[in-house]
Structure 1
Amino acid sequence: MITTQQWQHIRKVVNDTQKAAMHCSIATVDANLQPTVTPIGTLFLRENPSGFFFDTYTESLQQNVPHNSKACIQAVNSSRLFWLKSLFKGEFSDFPGVQLYVEIGDLHLANTEELAQISRRIQSLKWTKGRHLIWSDFSYVRDFSVHSFRWVKYPKMMPFS
């Protein structure tokens, strides 16, 4: 069971990750149990242990989910400043990442709130040509529920573990 405090911390770490890397990774397996990792730049966490992502460029994930809806979402903070500060001090100020063990739901049309969230996320890139090429056709999402999690740790640099 994920506590409210843990979930708020997870949301902070995932938010920091997405600011730095602009994506998370989702690992799934196909019908032959071969793993595939899919980068997702449109992942959003809700107030409870769940979330959604826009399923637009995810061919492997779309093929894998019908066979096995369990997945692992990994978010690792790749901010150079975060890592340089941590290496300089010899300890992390927070967990460098988190793995979320999830169950992915069926594909469905995005609602107004979900469309507003993606619009806010890409707002700062509205002037770029790439934004229109990559992020102009978002209409379908997949919900997921989080069943458990595991912090990404480097034991010798974790002052609070």
Structure 2
Amino acid sequence: MTLEQNWNRIRETVSRAGHCAIASIDEHGAPTIAPIGTVFLRDDTTGFYFDQYAQALGRNLDRDPRVCLMAVDGRPLYWFRSLLTARFPSPPGVRLYGTAGPARPATEDEMRQVRARVRIPVRLKGGALLWSDFSQVRDITFTDYRPVRYPHMMSHLWQ
């Protein structure tokens, strides 16, 4: 199945993961990866993330916009149940491939989405320091995907 045909399942998988990792290529041609907790996927095989702290990622993308985003469901209860039943109830993870655009000011709708995601932790001292100053985003256009696969426990997933 194509990226478009699986997009809803991909969006659900990324949403459950919470935090993602975005891989890029540094100035020496070496792969590097950055954890990003503010990735949002749209309806149309695109997404965006808030480009606040990952300065090295931004520099890499300005030079080479290719990315691989990986999202894995890390909830302990999800894994416990899956291991107990020997079956994943939903995809455990996905890799998305695409290109990132230049940094730009976030729209009001994008700001609303990130405020909704951090509404509880931003009330804490550390949360306020980390998540109260978002303003820039980068769009990502995805062109392909690969499920995170574990043999035997997920033959019923990803056609």
Normalising by structure 1, we get a TM-score of 0.93
**Aligned-residue CA RMSD (Å):** 1.1
1: CA distance, partners of 2:52 / 2:121: 18
Q: Which runs of 4+ in 1 moved over 3 A?
A: none
Does the residue aligned with 1:147 lie in a helix, a strand or coil? Answer: strand
Any conservation in 1 of the 2:122–2:132 contact (CA below 8 Å)? no
Matched, 1:7 2:3: no
What residue in structure 2 maps to residue 50 of structure 1? 46
Matched, 1:101 2:102: no
The offset of 1:93, in angstroms, is 1.0
Q: Which amino acid aligns with 2:49?
A: F
Any conservation in 2 of the 1:2–1:148 contact (CA below 8 Å)? yes
Normalising by structure 2, we get a TM-score of 0.94
2: CA distance, partners of 1:87 / 1:122: 30
Does the residue aligned with 1:131 lie in a helix, a strand or coil? Answer: helix
Structure 2 runs not aligned, ≥5 long: none
The offset of 1:127, in angstroms, is 2.2
1: CA distance, partners of 2:122 / 2:54: 23
Any conservation in 2 of the 1:36–1:60 contact (CA below 8 Å)? no
The offset of 1:25, in angstroms, is 0.1
1: CA distance, partners of 2:88 / 2:50: 31
Q: Which amino acid aligns with 1:51?
A: G
Q: Which amino acid aligns with 1:116?
A: R
Does the residue aligned with 2:6 lie in a helix, a strand or coil? Answer: helix
